Amino acid sequence: MHKTLLLYNILSGGVNARLINQILDILKSSGFSAEEIKTLKVGEAYERLKSYLDTQNIKPDLVIAVGGDGIINEAVNALAYTGIPLGIIPRGTGNAFAKDRKIPFYVKKAIDGFRNENIKTIDLGLINEEKYYLMMCSCGFDVKALSVLNPSLKKKFKILAYIYHGIKAFFTYKPVEIIMKINDENIFCKGYFCIASNVRSYGFPMAQIAPEASIDDGLIDICIFMSKDKISFIANILAIFVKMHINFKNVFYIKTASEIVIEQSHPKSPEAYNPAALKVQVDGDVYCNLPVRLRVAKKALKIFLP
């Protein structure tokens, strides 16, 4: 029997007692001995899983996260460099990572994939030397949308809630200047959006904002939309779906293994517009304000992938 930890938030929109019982039954019939870690709030999954791993003499053979990108990120932060593989059963609102990597949504098919031959060793991003990200971190109009996202609307309308707040943020967001430093070189950019990505897509597979990204190449892909003009920005968004945006003059795209610093540029004149600190999202949740320091955590996580 494979010793398994089943990690989930019982209050998550896609998780309920019936689903968990179904998963436990399939795990048992498939040769897994499962122990549950049930959580009730954001952040608790990381704390309880980290505490379990730090205090138990016998480590689990795998950890299964049931839910969306939020609880997956919490599991990743507890499992980084432990050598314990992560399995995913997608049940969140956006499920961006599961969609990007084609992880099955059908429970039995997802569990059937938890085999040794499907274990991959992948890179993670690390922000401010304190938090790992599996997919990406970004700052710009998208974070404004996430900042005002109503949890009840998110639970009820799922992806439609993201689309609604994204459109609303697009028309109200004022572009702010940022400075990006790579290898001590200052790169000055102004625009709506900056992303540091470990995966190709943003939100769903067709939106490949970092089309050259790979989760095991030891590199971070940086994409910045530099134009503040809304028409140009719309053109950039549409070009994402055919992976042509990285060829545009108003889009900066680079792959790097170097440390990256992203700072907010403040006007020199006191009379100039001085916006509030730009927020940064990590794997779909607002995490901190600029400035941030980013680097690649190479071969940090073992994970089951199709």
pLDDT in the model for residue 94: 80
State the CATH number of the domain containing residue 93.
Answer: 3.40.50.10330
From residue 103, how far is each of 13, 111, 297 by CA, in Å? 19, 10, 23
- Regarding whether 91 and 203 lie in a shared domain, the answer is no
- Regarding whether 231 and 152 lie in a shared domain, the answer is yes
Residue 300: which H helix or E strand, with range?
A: strand 292-304
pLDDT in the model for residue 167: 72
Q: In the numeric block, which tokens belong to residue 248? A: 């545009």
pLDDT in the model for residue 137: 95
pLDDT truncated to tens, each residue of the chain (306 aa)? 689 999 999 887 788 999 999 999 999 999 999 999 999 988 899 999 999 999 988 899 999 999 999 999 999 999 999 999 999 999 987 889 999 999 999 999 999 999 999 999 999 999 999 999 999 999 988 887 777 666 665 655 566 666 666 777 777 777 788 888 888 777 777 777 899 999 999 877 888 999 999 999 999 999 999 887 888 888 988 899 889 999 999 999 999 999 999 998 776 655 555 567 889 999 989 999 999 999 999 999 999 999
Residue 299: which H helix or E strand, with range?
A: strand 292-304
Residue 36 included in any domain? yes
From residue 108, how far is each of 8, 38, 256, 294 by CA, in Å? 17, 21, 38, 37
Q: What is the dihedral of CA 38, 136, 284, 79, to 10 degrees?
A: 10
Kindly report whether the peptide bond that precedes residue 291 is cis, defined as omega within 30 degrees of 0: yes
Residue 124 included in any domain? no
Q: How many distinct structural domains can be found in the chain?
A: 2
**DSSP class of residue 204?**
B
Range of the domain at 39: 2-114
Q: In the numeric block, which tokens belong to residue 133? A: 């990200």
Instruction: Give CA–CA dist 143/192, Å, rounded.
Output: 10
- Regarding whether 140 and 108 lie in a shared domain, the answer is no
pLDDT in the model for residue 268: 61
- Regarding whether 287 and 174 lie in a shared domain, the answer is yes
Residue 305 included in any domain? no
Q: In the numeric block, which tokens belong to residue 2? A: 């494979």
- Regarding whether 276 and 212 lie in a shared domain, the answer is yes
Q: What is the dihedral of CA 12, 85, 202, 10, to 10 degrees?
A: 0
pTM greater than the 0.75 cutoff: yes
Instruction: Give CA–CA dist 236/225, Å, rounded.
Output: 8
From residue 294, how far is each of 56, 132, 156, 199, 255 by CA, in Å? 32, 10, 34, 15, 13
- Regarding whether 107 and 16 lie in a shared domain, the answer is yes
List helix spans (H) across the chain: 17-29, 44-55, 69-79, 96-101, 107-112, 141-147, 151-157, 159-172, 230-240
State the CATH number of the domain containing residue 218.
Answer: 2.60.200.40
Q: Give the number of other CB atoms < 10 A from CB of residue 279.
A: 17
- Regarding whether 170 and 87 lie in a shared domain, the answer is no
**DSSP class of residue 58?**
S
- Regarding whether 146 and 56 lie in a shared domain, the answer is no
- Regarding whether 175 and 61 lie in a shared domain, the answer is no
Q: What is the 3-state secondary structure (H, E, C) of 20-34?
A: HHHHHHHHHHCCEEE
